[in-house]
Amino acid sequence: MIFKVIQDKFKVKSGLKYLEDELGKSKPLSNRKPGVSSIGCIVDMDKFPDPEVFNKLITDFSLQPNGVKIIGYKKDEAAHSPFGIQFFTDKDLGWNGTIENGFVSEFVDREYDVLINYYTDDKLVLKLLTARTNARIKVGFPAVDAKLNDLIFDTPIQNFEVFKTELKKYLKVLNEIK
């Protein structure tokens, strides 16, 4: 029991060290062409319990059916996802900033044009997943470390429509969509 507590503290410490190192690096340039063909979404399902609304981005951005990939975070592993959204918990934190979850590995293995970080709490596992995910444009909220996101929208997390409107507006400005 005591060993587990000590081990968890060292995992957090190694995760923080990895995150600090990752945020200190310059972002590598992507070979992907402008335009939005894939969107990744990291959603705090404790704060925003309806992650299914992100599937509407498929029609809003005229994407292929597999153009949106959603992964959720829940604090409590016992809380099941009624929508079938794959999720991870704090218990999935591994050594050196890894998140030991098959769904997370699958999510990180893809490259995205836009990564939506739909969380406002400063949680280590969420920030680690954001840092590990390869995306040309990362979008999030101001409550999280500004180094993680390229675009920051100060909108209420419960109002997805306002967030989506702002996202479309800025992607047009950046000539990513028409």
Question: Would you say residue 178 lies in a domain?
Answer: no
pLDDT per residue as tens digits for the range 9-27: 878 888 878 778 777 776 6
In a domain, 152, yes or no: yes
Contacts by residues 154-158 (CB-CB < 8 Å, ≥ 24 positions apart): 157/44, 157/47, 157/48, 157/118, 157/119, 157/120, 158/48
> Tens digits of per-residue pLDDT, 25-84?
766 666 667 789 999 999 999 999 888 899 999 999 999 999 999 999 998 776 555 557
How many separate domains does the chain show? 1
Residue 90: domain span: 2-173
The answer to whether 102 and 21 are in contact (CB under 8 A) is no
Residue 92 and residue 128 in contact, taking contact as beta carbons nearer than 8 Å: no
pLDDT value of residue 172? 93
Residue 115 lies in a domain: yes
User: So what's the pLDDT on residue 75?
Assistant: 86
CATH number of the domain residue 69 falls in: 3.40.50
pTM of the model: 0.88
Does any domain span residue 19? yes
Decide if 54 is inside a domain. yes
In this structure, the strands spanning 111-118 and 134-140 are: parallel
Q: Classify residue 119: in a domain, yes or no.
A: yes
